Structure 1
Amino acid sequence: MTSYAVALLRHVGMGPDIVAYLEAIDATLAPFGGRFVIHGGDKEHLEGAWEGDLIVIGFPDRAAARRWYASPAYQAILPLRSRNSQGDVILIDGVGSDHRATDILSRPAM
C-alpha cells in the first residue's frame, strides 16, 4: 500500500542550506521509488489556522519510506533542512480506492 512522508514545515529560512537540500533531495528519493505529491504551493484557506507549507512524498510502501528516511544519502542532507526550519514529519499509509469514511469505525482503538 502506498505510504507517504508528510511534513508541515514552518519558518523556513530560504538560504544556501535550503537551496542545497532542495538540489539534493530528488536523488535521495529515486532509489526508494519516492516522488513529490505536494510540495508547498498556493493554498486556499477554508477553516482553522494553517501556518506553513505542506510537503507530501509518496512511496510504494512504508518499508520504502522508512529506508529512504534512514538512508545515508538522506541523513546527510537532513541537517540542511532541520537547522533552517521548524516542523513536523510523519510517515502514514494511504487508503485504497474503495475506502469509505466509515471504514475507520472498525479499526482497533488506539
Structure 2
Amino acid sequence: MTAYAIAHLLSGEQHPEVAEYIERVQGTMKPFGGRFLVHNAQHETVEGVWNGDVVMIGFPDMEAARAWYASDAYREILPLRTDHLGGNVILVPGVPEGYDAAPAAAKLRAALAAESS
C-alpha cells in the first residue's frame, strides 16, 4: 500500500547548504521508488495556521519510506536542511483503493457509547 513522507518545513535561514540538499534529495529517493507529489508549491491554508512549506513524497509502501529515511544516502544530506530549516516530518501509510471511512466512524461511535455507559 502506498505510503507518504510529509514534511512541514518552517521558515528559516536561506543557505547554500539548503540548495545543495534540494539538488541531492531526489537521488536518495529513487532507489526506494520515491517521487515528489508536492514540492516548491504555494499552499492555501483553509483551516488553522500553517506557516512554512509542505513537501510530500510518495513511496510504494511503508517499508520503502522507512528504508529511504534511514538510508545512508539520505542521512548524509539531512543536516544540510536541518541545520538551517526546522520542521516536522512524518511517514504515514495511505489507504487502500475504495477505502470507506464509515467503519471508522462506527468504531468511534461504539467507543463513545461505551464511555458514556
State TM-score, norm by structure 1. Answer: 0.90
* RMSD after superposition: 1.6
Identity of aligned residues (%): 46
- Choose 1 or 2 for highest CA Rg: 2
- Counterpart AA for 2:64: A
Count of equivalent residues: 108
Alignment match, 1:51:
51
SS in 2 for 1:26: helix
Query: 1-side partners of 2:14 and 2:36: how far apart?
Result: 19
Matching residue's letter, 1:80: L
Q: Report which stretch shifted further, 36-45 or 80-89.
A: 36-45
Superposed, 1:32-47 pairs within 5 Å as 32-47=32-47
Higher percent of residues as helix = 2
In structure 2, stretches of 5+ residues that fail to align are: 112-117
Look up the match of 1:95: 95
Question: 1:22 — aligned with what?
Answer: 22
Task: Measure, in 2, the Cα distance between the counterparts of 1:23 and 1:45.
Answer: 27
1:13 aligns with 2:13: yes
Q: CA deviation at 1:64?
A: 0.5
What is the Cα deviation at residue 44 of structure 1? 2.0
Moved over 4 A (4+): none
Q: Which ranges in structure 1 are unaligned for 5 or more consecutive residues?
A: none
1:47 shift after superposition: 1.9
Which residue in the other structure is 1:70 paired with? Answer: 70
* Alpha-carbon distance in 2 for matches of 1:45, 1:74: 30
Q: CA deviation at 1:15?
A: 1.5
> Aligned-pair distance for 1:97?
2.6
Relative to its length, the structure with more strand (as a share) is 1
* Distance in 1, Cα, partners of 2:99 & 2:13: 38
Pairwise CA distance, 1:52: 1.1
Q: 1:38 to 1:103 in 2, by over 3 A?
A: farther
